[in-house]
Structure 1
């Protein structure tokens, strides 16, 4: 769970504020129990509302446009997907006290998976591949551009700045070499497909070790499918990673770009969140370790 504020422009959000917002916009729900849900999320604050709803509010200006995207597109995508996704029940309006739109969703049960607690990672890899395959098959007409579908080289300056701040925390020469290797992959040139673009463990729910839901579609849109490969390094062990790739039939260039996105995200997250969000920082360390181990294995096998 995040420890205090993570961003300089983050708003103060608590249960009392949520109740006042509900009373103004959805008075029929204002009397229900409200409890802040412990989450490592970095963009939105999440509260459980009663037994079967949640309230989700942007913490920072960068999350505001995502509210409209989710309200417009989740209902279009949901019928085509093999697992439940958030059902939007209502859209909150800005007030003098809280300046942005916000959402009420149907609550989805499940647990966030973690690499060290997976009971059947190969089966979970198959579930993830099935979700991505179904998402990519949806008609892209009118779809918005997704986050993380621009050329990977656009991350270079920020990655190198992060590397300069990570001395003593990671193997800088190895991480730099791994990052530079991903930049050699050709860019995506085929038609865009639907992607979630943020398949981190915190946006996945499992039950009995299997994928039970996918949440947080703020970054979704159309573009390069490589960005949805990040879950391979954020969650899956090496043998399940291979099963995941085989199930998707991913080519070398897309896989390499996916590894680059996972590495770039982790490199940038680690120095930014190491003091304010221990869960995200630990996750970033894990990803960097998995990428470097995989690269060492590939180099020794070549």
Structure 2
């Protein structure tokens, strides 16, 4: 995510008719299936239901195009090695009809996004999430890209500090900016990861998780995946899980203190940057950012 205060280009003007034309032109065997935009809090890609069993995923911004290519290359290799369902790429679309980027057709994965504060089985969900993260870390596939968020914590410093200062100017958000700045400062003194880089999903937001009966059934949106610091996949500890389930998640992953501190700081940084940008335009992202800030400060 770019630093606060920078103007970002708007999303590409996708609509149902354009998606129908793309499908008809490149995959005519699906041309008669109904197309309908699927509501999502995502900011990089749009999803369209294609009939009952398929979904089309298209970048909304130029930065999302490499994510599509990354998934097309790696998801078929990851899927058989992971304990939960992941998106299955059925077709790779190309730019056409004025639309400038690659896109994909996937098999539809049913389920609901979990909601922080309203989890049916938080402890079991914590164990499911730990199982997924463990499986990702155990991957040994060669040629892995660097994860989008896999670098050192200090690489986030400028954007994080700018976000804190921006939030100081938004008193209605009632963020304790001194407290979050202190958490961030302390984390910067934490030792970095000195082991080999591990495979990461690197974007374990509630909107990228699907649950049924409170249990994790699928993980979606692998556009940030790659290898890096294992702290990058600890996000659910603060963006989703309550304190007791957070402890179960940590114990199941056997996380050391330094990695836990880096994970908390990374999650906090993402929330601080997201809140001023999304507070008026994306209620889902803004709500989760507020939840993360409260959870981090409550943990002390």
Do these two structures clear the TM 0.5 threshold for a shared fold by scoring above it?
yes
- TM-score, normalised to structure 2's length? 0.95
Query: Of 240, 252, 255, which residue of structure 1 is paired with 2:257?
Result: 252
Q: Secondary structure at the match of 1:46?
A: strand
Deviations 1:165-222 (Å, cap 9, x if unpaired)? 1121211111111111211111111011111000000000000000000000100111
**Given that residues 140 and 193 in structure 1 are in contact (C-alpha distance below 8 angstroms), is that contact kept between their aligned partners in structure 2?**
no
Aligned: 1:261 with 2:262? no
Q: C-alpha distance in 1, partners of 2:197/2:106?
A: 28
Aligned: 1:188 with 2:193? yes
Aligned: 1:203 with 2:215? no
Shift of 1:96: 4.6
Aligned: 1:172 with 2:177? yes
Q: Secondary structure at the match of 1:165?
A: helix
Q: C-alpha distance in 1, partners of 2:179/2:70?
A: 38
Gaps of 5+ in 2: 1-6
Q: C-alpha distance in 1, partners of 2:147/2:31?
A: 34
Aligned: 1:287 with 2:292? yes
Question: 1:23 maps to what in 2?
Answer: 24
The two structures, once aligned, show a CA RMSD in angstroms of 1.1
Q: Secondary structure at the match of 2:263?
A: helix
**Given that residues 85 and 214 in structure 1 are in contact (C-alpha distance below 8 angstroms), is that contact kept between their aligned partners in structure 2?**
yes
Change (3 A) 1:32 1:111: same
Question: 1:131 maps to what in 2?
Answer: 132
Q: How many residues align?
A: 290
Aligned: 1:71 with 2:76? no
Question: 2:153 maps to what in 1?
Answer: 152
Deviations 1:247-275 (Å, cap 9, x if unpaired)? 00011111111001100000000001111
Question: 1:298 maps to what in 2?
Answer: none
- TM-score, normalised to structure 1's length? 0.94
Map 1:17-166 to 2 at 5 A. Answer: 17-166=18-167
4+ residue runs of structure 1 moved beyond 3 angstroms? Answer: none
Gaps of 5+ in 1: 1-5, 296-302
Aligned: 1:226 with 2:227? no
Shift of 1:10: 1.7
Q: Secondary structure at the match of 2:78?
A: helix
